[in-house]
Chains A and B, each alone.
Chain A
Amino acid sequence: MTLRTYIATRIALTLPMLLFLLTLVFFVMRILPGNPVLLRFEKNADPQLIAAYTHRLGLDIPLWQQYWNYLVGILHGDLGQSMVTFEPVSEQIFSRFPATLELTFYSFIIAVVVGIILGSWAARRPYSKVDGGIKLYGILVYAFPVFFLGMLFQLVFGIWLGLLPVGGRTDVGMVPQGLTLGAFHLQTGLYTLDALLGGNLTQFVVALKYLLLPSLTLGLVISGIFVRITRSNMLETFKMEFVTAARARGLKESTVVYGYVLRNALLPVITIMGLEFALLLSGAVLTETEFNILGLGTYLVDRITFRDYTAVQGTVVFLAVLISAISLIVDVLYAYLDPRIRL
């Protein structure tokens, strides 16, 4: 199968999966509890008020029509209105998502770097004390509740040592404004990126300071899986005959490890990236709560607490689309990188 066929097939597969998820969300929000408005106000509310709300939110039209509008809306980026403020949910999501994206990005980098370094160390010294220690690290870190780790970091580095801020994204008045060139304005909402775009190094450094503890927290917890996978993949790869063959040709051990073992061992790691992203998102919700970062995670928790079910629905839809897209990209990337599939 050529790469093009593979991509086409994979996209074709994503659509029904996504549709399934979106339908699931739709029905969870409607069929089972009945009317989301009723859920919100419970029994004692004024029936006229409920009717007004229901009408305003477009929840009194036939279910099938709602479903259709829902799907069409998603195609246009319309994720509904908040039940509380009647603002478009998509606007709210896009104002909050960058914080989550930034946190996830840095955490991911930390997780991958730590994971691969430790994992390969362990694989090169199997059954040694170093290996045992690293294996234990992998298990320990994965079992660590991310919010607890966050608290410990805050306690040590924020409160006892006073080195780093314990919450928020940046100092007051230090929010980077991004790039403005005449009429063209680019502000991503990712503070580190915006600071760089605006050429303001101080803002960049400050934003990083605030990001250090949360991304370290989330990153270390996620690194556990990478450590484990890198280690086991590398151990497997070391046993393969092309490694012995490479050594038989007199190649330096470092050449063998980097050119032969690592490249073959790490390739399959890409396939778990989709799963990793899900874990990152779950962890992000907790990390954001712990470090008072106003991201999509805290938004979701907020909206649920306020019983803003349409906003919740919109957020879940957004995440479903995001995850499907990332899974797709990851699979295609793997297919591209593995010459056995590409050619």
Chain B
Amino acid sequence: MNELLDVKELCVEYRTSRATIRAVKDVSFSLAKGSTLGLVGESGSGKSTLGHAIVRLVSPPGVIVRGRVSFDGIDLLSIDEDGMRKIRGKRIAMVFQDPMSSLSPVKKVGQHFVEYIREHEPSTSEAEALQRAKATFEDLGIDRSRVDDYPHQFSGGMRQRVMIGLAIALQPELIIADEPTTALDVVVEAQILELLKDLKRKYSLSMILITHNMGVVAETTDRIAVMYAGKLMEVAGTRKLFADPKNPYTRALLQSIPNILLDDQELRSIPGSPPDLANPPTGCPFHPRCPHVFDRCRVEEPKLKKVDGETETACHLFG
């Protein structure tokens, strides 16, 4: 099996006194070694929760209800916390959206590295760890001397590089990047995406790239998984998805992207609004907004299944 990560029927709920929100509903997908999977969806689609759930970082009131997350043969949901900790940061690393709030403002940037390196490789001395931090900085195009600076002294793009540096310092196998460029302007975004591509090649990384930006996934991913209201609606190869989207939601999503090449284009949005997850619609979650809706959609929730080669979709239009 070439699958590095295999997620099966993962369910995550947020349980508050007011309501229970099903943020991730029976999500199943797999990730081949060395490939990049784009996980796209609107805000509230559950993609970020899914990313956190893979490394068991869902914080209360969120709960991983059931499922299996198989990483290199290990079921991440059943090992003990200590074992999970050893994997976090060392074999699976996360990159977060806002680099300013992802670093402790009162801790020197270099110290973040040193602590982290020494946690996973305790025999490393403080001096050695610092050297490695400096080396990582160099790798990422940051001046070595800046290990002694504090997070607020960096610009947004530099900070994100630091974050990425923290993620790759111990050469993990999988990187989960949760909206890594959303907080950055387009120029810096391009640089960071380029950087990610380089690192991927250099260290043979596998990556899950979580974003709401279709443009970003088009460039950097091999496969794309589309999420809506906690459910996977379509999973397909990137090219295939853009060329021939099967699921009505995917189609609507792609159609809403303005095309700079066409003149006089009317902006097309998806009518309606994303569902209230505390009170989701019956059947298919997209049915209230779907142009192809019919009776079965309102009643029965479609299951994700293969419809055309490697493309999977969850839609009753496909039987």
Interface pairs (30), CB distance under 8 Å: A241-B96, A241-B97, A241-B102, A242-B102, A244-B59, A245-B163, A245-B166, A248-B96, A249-B88, A249-B89, A249-B116, A249-B166, A250-B89, A250-B119, A251-B119, A252-B119, A255-B115, A259-B107, A259-B115, A260-B104, A260-B107, A263-B104, A263-B107, A264-B104, A264-B105, A338-B105, A338-B106, A339-B106, A339-B152, A343-B150
A250 and B87 within 8 A (CB): yes
Q: Is the CB of A340 within 8 A of B89?
A: no
Least CB separation from B119: chain A residue = A251
Question: A247 and B101 in contact (CB under 8 A), knowing A259-B115, A267-B106, A343-B150?
Answer: no
The reply to whether B106 and A245 form a contact with Cβ atoms under 8 Å apart is: no
The answer on a CB contact under 8 Å between A247 and B57 is: yes
Q: A244-B59, A339-B150 are in contact. Are A250 and B88 (CB under 8 A)?
A: yes
Query: Which of A244, A260, A338, A339 has a CB less than 8 Å from the CB of B96?
Result: A244
When distances are taken between beta carbons in the complex, the residues of chain A under 8 Å from B96 are: 241, 244-245, 248
Chain B, residues 107-151, CB within 8 Å of chain A (1/0): the string is 100000001100110000000000000000000000000000010
Whether B90 and A250, one on each chain, are in contact in the complex, defined by CB atoms closer than 8 angstroms, is yes
Residues of B at the A interface (CB closer than 8 Å) are 52, 55, 57, 59, 85-90, 93-94, 96-98, 101-107, 115-116, 119-120, 150, 152-153, 163, 166
A249 x B152 contact (CB < 8 A):
no
List 8 tightest A-B contacts by C-beta distance, closest first: A250-B89, A249-B89, A250-B88, A248-B94, A245-B102, A241-B101, A339-B150, A250-B85
A301 at the interface (CB under 8 A from B): no
How long is the Cα–Cα vector from A267 to B105 in the complex, in angstroms? 11
A263 and B106 contacting across the interface, CB-CB below 8 Å: yes
Contact between chains at B103 and A242 (CB < 8 Å): yes
Interface string of A244-277 (1 = CB under 8 A from B): 1111111110010001100110010000000000
Bound state CA distance, A343 and B154, in angstroms?
12
Residues in A with CB closer than 8 Å to B59 are: 244
A339 touches B105 (CB 8 A): yes
Label chain B's interface by main secondary structure: mixed
CB-defined contacts of B85 to chain A, threshold 8 Å: 250-252
Cβ–Cβ contact B101 & A249, under 8 A: no
Number of A-B contacts (CB under 8 A): 80
Cβ of B97: which chain A residues have Cβ within 8 Å of it?
A: 241
Complexed CA–CA distance, A50 and B98 (Å): 74
Which residues of chain A have C-beta atoms less than 8 A from B103's C-beta?
A: 242, 245
Q: For residue A338, which residues in chain B have a CB less than 8 angstroms away from its CB?
A: 105-106
CA–CA, A240 and B120, complex, Å = 23
A51 to B119, CA, bound (A): 80
New A-B contacts (14) at CB < 8 Å, excluding given A248-B89, A249-B89, A260-B104:
A240-B101, A241-B97, A241-B102, A244-B102, A247-B88, A249-B88, A249-B119, A249-B166, A250-B89, A251-B85, A251-B89, A263-B107, A338-B106, A339-B152
What residues of A have a CB within 8 angstroms of the CB of B55 in the complex? 248
Let me know if B115 and A242 touch, CB within 8 A. no
**CA A255 – CA B102 in complex, angstroms?**
16
Cβ distance B166 to chain A, nearest Cβ, rounded Å: 7
Report Cα–Cα, A242/B103, bound state, in Å: 5
Query: Cβ of B52: which chain A residues have Cβ within 8 Å of it?
Result: 244
Query: Which residues in B have their C-beta under 8 angstroms from that of A242?
Result: 101-105
CA distance A241 to B105 in the complex (A): 11
Q: Which residue of B lies closest to A249 (CB)?
A: B89
Q: A241-B98, A259-B107, A267-B106 are in contact. Are A248 and B88 (CB under 8 A)?
A: yes
A6 → chain B, closest Cβ, in Å? 16
**Docked-complex contact A246 and B88, CB < 8 angstroms:** no
Partner of B93, one of A240, A247, A248, A339: A248
The complex places the Cα of A245 from the Cα of B98 at a distance, in Å, of: 11
How far, in Å, is A204 (CB) from chain B's closest CB? 37
Which residues on the A side are within 8 Å of B163 (C-beta)? 245
Nearest opposing residue in chain B for A341, CB measure: B152
Contact yes or no, B94 A245, CB < 8 A: yes
Query: In the complex the two chains form, what is the Cα distance from A260 to B108 in whole Å?
Result: 12
Residues of A within 8 A of B94 (CB): 245, 248
Q: How far is the CA of A209 from the CA of B270 in the complex (A)?
A: 75
Residue of B nearest to A261 (CB): B104
The complex places the Cα of A332 from the Cα of B69 at a distance, in Å, of 51
- A292 to B105 CA separation, bound complex (whole angstroms): 47
In the complex formed, the residue of A with least CB distance to B117 is: A249
The CA-CA distance from A101 to B101 in the complex, in Å, is 41
Minimal beta-carbon separation of B185 from chain A (angstroms): 20
